[in-house]
Amino acid sequence: EDPEKLAAFEARIDRGEKIEPVDWMPQLYRKQLIRMIEQHAHSEIIGALPEGTWITRAPGFKRKLALIAKVQDEVGHAQLLYSAAETLGKSREAMIDDLITGKSKYSNIFNYPAYTWADACFISWLVDAGAIVNQLANAKGSYGPYCRALERICAEESFHLKYGHHCVIYLATGTARQREMFQEAINRWWTPMMHFFGPADKISTHTQVLMKWKVKMASNDDTRNQFLDMYVPKILELGFTIPDEKLKKNPETGRWDYTEPDWEEFMRVINGDGPCNKERLEVRRIAEERGRWVREALRSSKTAYVTPLA
Ligand code: BYC
């Protein structure tokens, strides 16, 4: 690659300028962005599934209404992100194909089942909280279309967070069984939540190059630590416990000490062998198949869809 172009590109990034689709960029920057934005888009669309199954069972009309809106937002986020990834040259069809065939990854956490309403509340509050920590940082990154998508996503996610927190406070101040349900949800989801921020910095493959080019604005360990800083006190304040005896803020380093989550489980889950991977992909495959006729009709239709009024 032309060293002069590369130097000019890196100087722009260092000055805090945004890179736009028409600008020159190194092949590796393009490839990494496609990988990361595409995985993010898949995570949103697959992430809609565990909560989506709770829409009909959410307790009461107001909760159902709010959950429908939240799930719809998540699918909308996928739309925004697929569009951002398309600006880099990979078609949406190719991305969906790679999702369905298992070639592309998506977030580990959505491969676990939401058994109870409390599991859905855990996702709405704490998984969304984790996503916001990551997205707020990366919205200040270098690639224009991704940053703009993240800004809008964060605005919508902040409503999800309030909704999720409200659901959890309701359980926390409810009956003994309701409190127990949420405690069980924490116990089930804590390890996948720790995995959510990605492998420890020392074993992360892409962090270095992504941080150099300001695609990733914080390392995996930094975002995990920031999440723990913000949310461990809130969880404990509600009277719940966290299933990790080592979890403690270290006064010397100012960072959280914790038991390393099982990274072998993480690798298994992100490579297709988690409790719900097959089911999640099957739902997307069926949706793709059932929607094919609509896409084909749109593509082959030569007539205008709307006839203007005379
Ligand atoms: N899950 O080098 P590393 C939502 C993979 S949805 C699966 O550290 P990187 C929501 C990684 O891809 C929002 N795979 O990677 C929706 C790589 O594999 P490949 C979710 C993971 O990219 C509905 C390998 O491990 N947020 O919130 O530097 C309802 C090595 O990792 C994961 C995003 O998607 C994982 N957790 O950093 C409710 C954020 N972690 O590609 C809520 C966008 C790592 O070499 N993504 N891997 O085969 C990112 O910020 C970064 O990609 C990550 C990982 C921090 C996740």
pLDDT 10s digits, 43-73: 999 999 999 999 999 999 999 999 999 999 9
Give 135's contacts (C-beta < 8 A, 6+ positions apart).
150, 153, 154, 157
CB of 192 sitting under 6 A from ligand 1: no
> What phi, psi does 19 have (nearest 5°)?
-95, 130
State in Å: Cα 170 to ligand 1 middle. 31
Q: Which domains does the chain have, with CATH numbers?
A: 18-286 (1.20.1260.10)
State in Å: Cα 109 to ligand 1 middle. 10
State in Å: Cα 35 to ligand 1 middle. 10
Q: What is the pLDDT of residues 233-267, one digit of tens each?
A: 999 999 999 999 999 999 999 999 999 999 999 99
pLDDT of residue 93: 93
Contact 181, 118 (CB under 8 A): yes
CB of 74 sitting under 6 A from ligand 1: yes
Predicted model pTM: 0.96
216 vs 226: CA distance, rounded Å = 15
- ipTM for the predicted complex comes to 0.98
DSSP 20: -
State in Å: Cα 106 to ligand 1 middle. 7
159 vs 70: CA distance, rounded Å = 9
121 vs 274: CA distance, rounded Å = 21
CB of 220 sitting under 6 A from ligand 1: yes
CB of 123 sitting under 6 A from ligand 1: yes
Give 231's contacts (C-beta < 8 A, 6+ positions apart).
126, 129
- Taking residue 18's Cβ as centre, other Cβ atoms within 10 Å add up to 16
Percent of the chain at pLDDT > 70 equals 97
Q: Token pair for residue 61? A: 């009309």
* Buried/exposed 143-171: b ≥16 CB within 10 Å, e otherwise: bbbbbebbeebbebbeebbebbbebbeeb
At 306, is the pLDDT very low, low, confident or very high (cuts 50, 70, 90)? low
- Taking residue 56's Cβ as centre, other Cβ atoms within 10 Å add up to 9
Nearest alpha-carbon partner for 115 in 188, 216, 59: 188
Contact 39, 105 (CB under 8 A): yes
CB of 210 sitting under 6 A from ligand 1: yes
Q: Name the residue with the closest Cα to ligand 1, atom 36.
A: 196
The residues pairing with 256 across neighbouring beta strands, listed in sequence order, are 249
Across the range 182-196, mean pLDDT stands at 98
Atom of ligand 1 nearest to the CA of 199: 8
Q: What is the pLDDT of residues 194-213, one digit of tens each?
A: 999 999 999 999 999 999 99
Q: Name the residue with the closest Cα to ligand 1, atom 18.
A: 105
pLDDT of residue 309: 60
Q: Name the residue with the closest Cα to ligand 1, atom 31.
A: 204
At 304, is the pLDDT very low, low, confident or very high (cuts 50, 70, 90)? low
DSSP 238: T
